[in-house]
Structure 1
Amino acid sequence: MTSLLPAQRLLPPDRTPLESALAGVMASLALSTDGLRHLWSAMHCLEAALPWLSWTLSVEAWHEAKSDEARRQLILNSIEIHRRKGTPWAIRLLIRSLGFGEVEIIERVGGRLHNGEIRRNGEFPRAPLSQSWATYKVVFERPITNAQAERLRNLLPSVAPARCHLVGLRYATVANSHNGAIRRDGTYNRGSA
């Protein structure tokens, strides 16, 4: 009787010669199964398996994350984002997970009275509250490009309340200054996108 490899011993007694030969070949390949142990861990999952893990967890904005760390952070935060979807907190967490930093969300952008409570600086449009109660604006601490703003405009409705409408994206610091150091090529705006 010939000696059987461990993989061949696992086969049933009525195995065919082909099954036995395939088991012998597979045993000699020394396949690594180390990555299988971490399939459900966002921090330790193999990079090739990350898209499947994100698909399984219904991760929002998977294609918007540009780095491996941002993708892993999105996967880690996806359960919390889904749990609190439709709240300003979910909007902040999604923007933070994408690497845009901290933001301020201004809700109910219109409907402000002329009683000295706010400054008329363009931040709040002149619209009655009945037309603008479900509006919001996102204010960033750092500049964003026009392409990033467009991606965020397409993405925010998936985590924002369904009744709310994004009025604008604004950033407080501007990357462009009039010192001749950069060319105005349309990548950045002058404070709002």
Structure 2
Amino acid sequence: MNGHDSILPGNLSALERDLEASLAEAKALIPVPIETIWNPYQCPVPLLPYLAWAVSVDHWQASWPEHIKRSVIAKSLEVHEIKGTRQALEKALSAIDIDINVTEWFEMEPPGKRGTFQITANLSDRGITEGEYQNVKNVIDTAKNVRSHYDLKLALSNKSTVPLFAMAIRQGNQEILYPLLTKKITAINGCYFTTATRSLIQTTLFPIEQ
């Protein structure tokens, strides 16, 4: 049997034994062990798209970082088991590093339209591009139930455990302007003479007596 240990029962036909031996030889020629290929966290990067297809990943982006690709593959089967539920949405989006809050129509205040729900995507310390926004919608569409419609909102939040301190500084200058004062005043003294003349002529008129 070419040196491999058979795990099949002893009542095999000659054809079955030949197939087992052939498969054992083929496996020995594969550079990566089969169990490694099926492990989303150990599979070689070039083979990740094929593993994603094998485990029925509904939405795949070649531009995703490696850790996102591995996370999406690892959670694919879990999402399929509960597809159409709130938990499926949460798992599918957590795989691409998006934390969400789901609000059903009856949880809204006031209640929303029957059969609708809202999703708030919480983005930690970063914004989102138009392409990423569409990517989030695609993941939601593949994980939600078909009958329901939704509104997607984005919220920027900071969930860092590192304590942060804030400080505000208000700075200003106060200036007082005084008029220019002459420190030295020089007075020039002199003698000046002046005269004034006032003339007064007083005339008295009496009536003429006849």
Q: Normalising by structure 1, what TM-score?
A: 0.57
Instruction: State the shift of 1:69 in Å.
Output: 1.3
The alignment of Structure 1 onto Structure 2 pairs a total of residues equal to 129
Q: SS of the counterpart of 1:76?
A: helix
1:107 aligns with 2:124: no
Match of 2:64 among 60, 63, 66: 66
2: CA distance between counterparts of 1:132 and 1:111?
Answer: 11
Match of 2:152 among 160, 168, 174: 168
Instruction: State the shift of 1:78 in Å.
Output: 0.6
Instruction: State the shift of 1:154 in Å.
Output: 2.7
Q: SS of the counterpart of 1:98?
A: coil
1:137 aligns with 2:119: yes
Structure with the greater alpha carbon radius of gyration: 2
Higher relative contact order (CA 8 A, sep 6+): 1
Shift in alpha-carbon separation, 1:141–1:46, aligned structure 2, 3 A? closer
Stretches (4+) displaced over 4 A: none
Ranges in structure 2 where 5+ consecutive residues have no aligned partner:
3-27, 159-210
Shift in alpha-carbon separation, 1:171–1:52, aligned structure 2, 3 A? same
Match of 2:31 among 31, 34, 57: 34
Structure 1 residues 91-102: aligned runs within 5 Å:
91-100=89-98, 102=99
Shift in alpha-carbon separation, 1:103–1:82, aligned structure 2, 3 A? same
Ranges in structure 1 where 5+ consecutive residues have no aligned partner:
1-5, 7-30, 114-127, 175-193
1:147 aligns with 2:131: yes
2: CA distance between counterparts of 1:99 and 1:138?
Answer: 14
1: CA distance between counterparts of 2:101 and 2:146?
Answer: 20
1: CA distance between counterparts of 2:107 and 2:44?
Answer: 47
Percent of aligned pairs with the same amino acid: 19
Shift in alpha-carbon separation, 1:32–1:159, aligned structure 2, 3 A? same
Amino acid at match of 1:168: L
Contact 1:137 1:167 in 2 (8 A): yes
Q: Which moved more, 1:142-151 or 1:73-82?
A: 142-151
Instruction: State the shift of 1:110 in Å.
Output: 8.5
Deviations 1:144-189 (A, max 9, x none): 3332112212331110111111212221449xxxxxxxxxxxxxxx
2: CA distance between counterparts of 1:108 and 1:64?
Answer: 35
Q: Which has the higher helix share?
A: 1
Amino acid at match of 1:140: N
Q: SS of the counterpart of 2:38?
A: coil
Match of 1:55 among 53, 76, 80: 53
RMSD across aligned C-alpha pairs, in angstroms?
A: 2.8
